[in-house]
Amino acid sequence: MSNGQWYPPEWPDRIRALASGELTPAEPKRAATVMLLRDTADGPAVHMLRRRASMAFAGGAYAYPGGGVDARDSRPVRWAGPSLSAWASCLGVDEASAQAVVCAAVRETYEEAGVLLAGVTPDTVVGDTTGDAWESDRQSLVDRELSFADFLDRRGLVLRSDLLGAWARWITPEFEPRRYDTWFFVAALPEGQRTRNASTEADRTVWIRPGDAAERYDQGELLMMPPTISTLRSLIPCATAADALSAARERDLTPVLATARVSSDGGLVLSWPGHEEFTKHISIGGSR
């Protein structure tokens, strides 16, 4: 492997099983992930976590805070920012689903990074979110003892959906047993808040400039899934976090789904439409 592209050795067998009809694709679960940005003297840095090597899915790979949509993310919440109809149009789903995806993005960012995109009023955002009381509520969210709607109500907060910008949408390939339909968002780290590794799925976190992370991926130093390195590269032109949020308004959210076909020599060609750098030519005996 000349770069850091995550490529499980079992993929060829799964792809062949899918092609032969022996494997039935799993239904992808909706998910959301957030690229938190903070400005530095050398441009914006993005917050990333490294998934524990023991994780069944993408162990050892660098990613962003995020996770699956919980059924309770659909409960009505105190809301600020673009309307649900506007978010539904942006994300390509119905209004109930749009709320659930946005709620999941905000909730998971708080659960995994300790950063909360919410405020007492529609034009404010909370500052320090550390302390025993905050941690107790965060853990209750993680344990699913508390819904995000109840959490916001308990603290008299409104969800600041205007602090998010939708950036991309990727769907896990059909031959993967764990599949996700994931929306990627950008957000600026709120003033007064700081990130921390609050995730049980990560063994370290870093703030790193997108260009530096991409360079280390190219050198094979950082392991990443295609959606991660693709979104990192797309952040490089942004001079500030505000630039990224502004650029989000023009982003194409057409879902990206990998496809596989049988080549003339009996091998396989795995590709992600519109992202040629990830194409894999899988020979009968392996890959290249």
CA-CA-CA-CA torsion sign (199, 212, 41, 187): negative
- Identity of the amino acid at 160: R
Cβ within 8 Å of residue 184, ≥6 positions away: 32, 33, 34, 35, 64, 166, 167, 168, 169, 170, 227, 231
Is the separation of the CB atoms in 63 and 223 below 8 Å?
A: no
Q: Which residue has the tokens 């499980």?
A: 8
pTM: 0.93
Which domains does the chain possess? 27-251 (3.90.79.10)
Cβ within 8 Å of residue 243, ≥6 positions away: 44
- Identity of the amino acid at 211: G
Question: What's the confidence (pLDDT) of residue 282?
Answer: 77
Backbone angles phi, psi at 160, to 5 degrees: -95, 80
**Cα gap 153→77, rounded to integer Å:** 8
**Cα gap 59→229, rounded to integer Å:** 16
How far apart are the two ends of the chain, measured CA to CA in Å?
8
Q: Which residue has the tokens 């020979």?
A: 283
Q: In 156-257, which ranges are continuous DSSP H helix?
A: 210-218, 226-235, 241-247
**Cα gap 258→109, rounded to integer Å:** 27
**How many residues can be counted in the chain?**
288
Q: Give the tokens for residue 24.
A: 């039935």
Taking alpha carbons only, the member of 28, 35, 85 closest to residue 57 is 28
Q: Which residue has the tokens 């344990």?
A: 143
Chain-centre distance for alpha carbon 180: 10
Could you read off the pLDDT tens digit of each residue along the chain, which spans 288 residues?
457 887 788 888 888 888 888 989 999 999 999 999 999 999 999 999 998 776 666 678 899 999 999 999 999 999 999 999 999 999 999 999 999 999 999 999 999 999 999 999 999 999 989 889 999 999 999 999 999 999 999 999 999 999 999 999 999 999 888 899 999 999 999 999 999 877 777 788 999 999 999 999 999 999 999 999 999 999 999 999 999 999 999 999 999 999 887 777 778 888 898 999 898 887 755 544
Count the neighbouring beta carbons within 10 Å of the beta carbon of residue 76.
Answer: 9
- Identity of the amino acid at 161: S
